[in-house]
A = this chain, B = another copy of it.
Amino acid sequence: MGIPTVERSRAVEDYVKAIHAIADDGGDRSVGTTALASHLGVTPASASGMVRKLATLGLASSSPYRGVTLTDDGEGLALSILRRHRLLETFLAQRLGIPWDRVHAEAEVLEHVLSVELEAAIANNLGNPDRDPHGAPIPRSDLTVEEQQTFPLDQLAEGDRVRFVRIPDERPEMLRWLAERGIAPGVEIELKRREPFGGPLTAAINGREHQLGVELAAAIRVEYL
């Protein structure tokens, strides 16, 4: 633990964030070098080197050939970056009217530069929001996160009625497609039909029917009502 006083390079922060992200959706096991590397678009050798560095910085621990795990410090750093990222996205969308498909790219840069004071001011200005524009939970200032069980829309059965919870923020085209149709976290969705063989899903949303491709349906996370 401990308040991050040290200067952390952008690369270090992005690696830590990546390790956190990969571990998180693979159910918390340790992260492989290759997965990490491909996530960041570098070679495994590079990732391996950086992992060693993260270890000396006390951010990760890795037994060679066994994968990486974040230390408590590393986990804290990851969460604090995630907090800044999501607060920024929320602020940009809500206060500056930046479309939700573009806030991610901006936040990706600003997250590495935001001062503690500014982070606090933004959180305060927004009334300490729980979720970012894409429905992702914003880590609280004590770095706890509300966990919630969600399901990908493509696993529903016909007739299921659910609420749209969240969607990844990295795919602008998807976000734009949804925005054009007024589909955003919070709306109710009823699954009408699903075509076999990777066919589209038909869903009723806001009183209209929409055809959702499999990729999209897999990206949309929902909760049961």
Binding site for B on A (CB under 8 A): 92, 95-98, 102, 106, 109-110, 113, 115, 117-118, 121-122, 125
- Across-interface contacts of A125 in B (CB, < 8 A): 95-97
- Across-interface contacts of A122 in B (CB, < 8 A): 96
The quantity of this chain's copies bound in the complex is 2
Q: Would you call A121 and B109 a contact (CB within 8 A)?
A: no
A9 to B122, CA, bound (A): 27
A to B CB contacts below 8 Å, 22 in the list: A92-B118, A92-B121, A95-B95, A95-B125, A96-B118, A96-B121, A96-B122, A96-B125, A97-B121, A97-B125, A98-B117, A98-B118, A98-B121, A102-B117, A106-B115, A106-B117, A106-B118, A109-B113, A109-B115, A110-B110, A110-B113, A113-B113
- Across-interface contacts of A95 in B (CB, < 8 A): 95, 125
A8 vs chain B, min Cβ distance (A):
14
A109 to B97, CA, bound (A): 23
- Across-interface contacts of A92 in B (CB, < 8 A): 118, 121
A97 to B118, CA, bound (A): 10
A125 to B96, CA, bound (A): 7
- Across-interface contacts of A118 in B (CB, < 8 A): 92, 96, 98, 106
- Across-interface contacts of A110 in B (CB, < 8 A): 110, 113
A3 vs chain B, min Cβ distance (A):
18
A98 to B117, CA, bound (A): 8
A11 vs chain B, min Cβ distance (A):
16
- Across-interface contacts of A113 in B (CB, < 8 A): 109-110, 113
A122 to B92, CA, bound (A): 10
A121 vs chain B, min Cβ distance (A):
4
A82 to B109, CA, bound (A): 20
A187 vs chain B, min Cβ distance (A):
26
List the B residue with the shortest CB-CB distance to A115: B106
- Across-interface contacts of A117 in B (CB, < 8 A): 98, 102, 106
Nearest 10 pairs between A and B by C-beta?
A96-B121, A113-B113, A109-B113, A96-B125, A98-B121, A106-B115, A106-B118, A97-B121, A110-B113, A96-B122
